[in-house]
Amino acid sequence: MKGKKYLILIAGLIFFHLLATPLFACKGRVLVVAVGDSIDQVIMGKMLSILINERTGTTVEIAQSGDIEASHEAVLQGKANIYINYVGMAGAGTEGPNALDEPQKAYILVSRSYMEKYGMVWLKPFGFQGPLPQAAPSGKIDGTLAVPVTTKDVIKKFPILDRLINKLAGQVDNKTLEELREKSANQDVEITVREFLTSHKLI
């Protein structure tokens, strides 16, 4: 009987370990989020950083790249792991749905294109719209969907990362982002972002 109880105990511990492993699969590693100079990029970069660190224990560094193109190159070269892009800017000059008129269709097209060309994974849009591509019609005032972007290799190394980041999907619309901007003008961005994540029960 003792031997049987011992085996049951061991089996239980192994099962518990298998359940617990995904949550801490990122712990002990370092992720780098590349951001541009705009306040929107700074806010969302900080939001990704805090969310990932608080939920997984992963150390997250923020690299100021200057602009989206530089952030894209940093991820391609393995100097960074995540950045924030915009559907209209990424799809500028390509044939297909207009990002301003058909944002969801354009998002699908761009995400497929980036996977094929670069092995990059476009996660779910945050909800707000970013800067317009330069070729956008002058009458348009809305921007295009802002999206966190990473790579297949990063997802393999950090197996819960995509599911975790996708918890932000649709959480930050234009109005919410404007509120975050206003708060960040009067207090540290980290405080603003932590308050937001806490109020939405994300950390």
Enter the tokens of residue 88: 């209209």
Are 109 and 87 in contact by the 8 Å Cβ rule? The answer is no
Burial of 30: CB neighbours in 10 Å, binned 0-12, 13-18, 19+ = exposed
Domains held by the chain: number: 1
Give the integer Cα–Cα distance in Å for 108 and 94. Answer: 13
The structure tokens listed for 104 are: 């969801």
pLDDT at 13 over 50: no
Tell whether 177 is covered by a domain. Answer: yes
59 found inside a domain: yes
Do the Cβ atoms of 121 and 157 come closer than 8 Å?
Answer: no
Residue 99, domain member (yes or no): no
Which CATH number is 177's domain given?
A: 3.40.190.10
Q: Residue 78: which pLDDT band, with cuts at 50, 70 and 90?
A: very high
Q: Is the pLDDT of residue 157 over 60?
A: yes
Residue 141, domain member (yes or no): no
The pTM of this model reads 0.81
CA–CA gap between residue 107 and residue 110 (Å, rounded): 5
Residue 20: inside a domain: no
- Its domain, for residue 165, covers 26-86+119-128+148-199
Residue 141 CA to residue 189 CA, distance in Å, equals 26
* Whether the predicted pLDDT of 201 surpasses 60: yes
- Residue pair 189/46 in contact (Cβ under 8 Å)? The answer is yes
- Residues 184-197 pLDDT 10s: 999 999 999 999 99
- Amino acid in the structure at residue 103: P
Identity of the amino acid at 175: K
60, part of any domain: yes
